[in-house]
Amino acid sequence: MNEMYAMGIVTHNIGVMGMLAVILINFLMLVGAQDIRRYAKRMRIFMPIGAGLIATILFTGAVMMAAKHLSFSFENIVMIVFGILLIILEAKRYKKLKYINMNEPNPLERYKAIAYKILSIEFFGSLLITVWMFM
């Protein structure tokens, strides 16, 4: 049982580090984007990776809680709420990209303003919780 719990913690930590990396890669892809159509195509391929990592993090956290028969602590509740927040933010970012009006002047710049805010919240929130959990 302890081996499963230890493996779950390692998988959870790798998932969190992977999520931070995916957020940074998303940010760099956004910075380097020149054409909204090419960027949207890349995002349709890359966004499921982020969603998969969020699911991995939430699933391993739930399995670890069940394996150790842990009760809901303040830290667990914060992580669950933040996981749900990540899902909502990613959905909002994708929805903004999907329904962007291509006829408006400079649609990429309008999207970038929104996406930078969302990615910043995701990155700094994830980083803050990661540092908090390692203390």
CA distance 52 to 48: 6
**DSSP type of residue 57:** H
CB contact at 8 A, 44 and 119 = no
CB contact at 8 A, 43 and 94 = yes
pTM of the model: 0.87
Domains along the chain with CATH numbers = 2-134 (1.20.120)
63 contact partners, CB below 8 Å, separation of at least 6: 8
CA distance 118 to 23: 10
pLDDT in tens, 86-129: 999 999 999 999 998 888 888 999 999 999 999 999 999 999 99
CA distance 103 to 20: 34
CB contact at 8 A, 83 and 57 = yes
CA atoms 77, 82, 88, 94: torsion sign: negative
**DSSP type of residue 68:** T
* pLDDT over 90, % of the chain: 57
Per-residue confidence (pLDDT) for residue 61, from 0 to 100: 87
